[in-house]
Amino acid sequence: MKKAALWILAILITMFAAVYQKMTGPTYPLRGKALLNDMEISYELARSHETGKNYGIVINTSSKEIDGFVVFKRFKTQDPWTKLVMEKKENLLLASLPYQPPAGKLAYKVILSCKEKEISLSGEEPVIIRFKGEVPQAILIPHIIIIFLAMLFSTRAGIEALDRSSNPRKLALWAAGLLFVGGIILGPIVQKYAFGSLWTGFPFGFDLTDNKTLIAMLGWTVALIAGRKGKPARGWVFGASILLLVIFLIPHSLLGSELDYSKINSPVNSSNQFTSLNGLRTI
């Protein structure tokens, strides 16, 4: 009964960390409600999208009186802002942002107007959307499940380490093994499909997702070495467990892979024509 309760506790902690990480990450959709002339408008603006497909913005205004336009440009570039008037279909406002190469980003604002009043759905700051390649489900699903299990066994090992009458060694081995498979083996494969590189963390780059995985793996490696020959190494196991928990609480994809547009010459890609705010320049 006691062990079952401890597993339930570990599951709850793991689920909380996983949900918190996802919902606070920079790729989680921006959702909210805006008020324009006493009309409430709900919206959801994507911050992640598959490359090869333009991102379609759909705003349900519940009113034919509301107009809208989108301004956008490539992130961290000197590109002029480009204006795109949204198409009206009944109560819907529609626009399409041109897709970018893997890890490419666009900054964009959706601006609605009615009777000379105007609001930006994201406020003063633009929404940043990152494009990524499609990851096969046969790789993505095992990666997610195994990483989740690694966090679960890590948490359970940390709880076990608090009991001086128990040896968390087996749980520690499971945690480290699952983290190695899910993060060190499958993680780079996911990264390759999504952004074109197997590894962009230390020493090749500053990708926080890769670096988090590396730090967590080093933590558990130290814990396993400290517990060689069957030693409980409770302090080391507990420390590695807390380290992984803290890492899990860091928003997912924060400081993730990002295309450096200064190294490519291609302009914003689109089959449509857009009018720049700086004049009649078309892209």
| Claim to verify: residue 45 and residue 115 sit in the same structural domain | yes
- The whole-model pTM stands at 0.82
Domain count, the chain: 2
- 282 DSSP assignment: B
- Does residue 31 lie within any of the structural domains? no
97 and 162 housed in the same domain: no
Residue 275, pLDDT above cutoff 50: no
* CATH number of the domain to which 77 belongs: 2.60.40.10
The mean pLDDT value for 243-260 works out to 81
Tokens of 242: 């807390």
- Of all residues in the chain, the percent with pLDDT exceeding 70 is 91
What rounded mean pLDDT belongs to the chain? 88
What is the side-by-side order of every strand in the sheet holding 55-60? 55-60, 92-97, 87-89
- Which of 133, 165, 198 marks a domain boundary? 133
If asked whether residues 49 and 17 sit together in one domain, one would say no
Q: What is the rounded average pLDDT of the residues 26-48?
A: 91
- How far from 209 is each of 132, 199, 200, 237, 273, CA to CA, in Å? 15, 10, 9, 22, 36
Residue after which a domain boundary falls, among 133, 157, 173: 133
Residues 86 and 158 in one domain: no
Instruction: Check residues 260 and 84 and name the one with the higher pLDDT.
Output: 84
Tell me the HSE value of 57 on the side-chain side, using a 13 A CA sphere. 34
> Residues 146, 186: contact at Cβ < 8 Å?
yes
Residue-wise pLDDT for 159-214, tens only, equals 999 998 899 999 999 999 999 999 999 999 999 999 888 888 888 877 888 899 99
Residues 92 and 68 in one domain: yes
Measured distance CA(93)–CA(69) in Å, rounded: 9
At residue 25, the pLDDT reads 77
Give the amino acid at 67.
Answer: D
Residue 257 within a domain? no
**150 and 110 within one domain:** no
What pairing do the DSSP bridges indicate for beta strands 48-50 and 127-132? parallel
Same domain for 162 and 120, yes or no, is no
Q: Domain check: are 149 and 117 in the same one?
A: no
182 and 245 assigned to the same domain: yes
- Residue 273: inside a domain, yes or no? no
Shared domain for 99 and 50, answered yes or no, is yes
Domain assignment of residue 98, given as a range: 37-133
Question: In the predicted model, is pLDDT for residue 119 greater than 90?
Answer: yes
Domain check: are 47 and 128 in the same one?
yes
- Buried-exposed string 227-250: b where 16+ CB fall within 10 A, e elsewhere: beeeebbbebbbbbbebbbebbeb
pLDDT per residue as tens digits for the range 14-34: 999 888 888 887 888 999 999
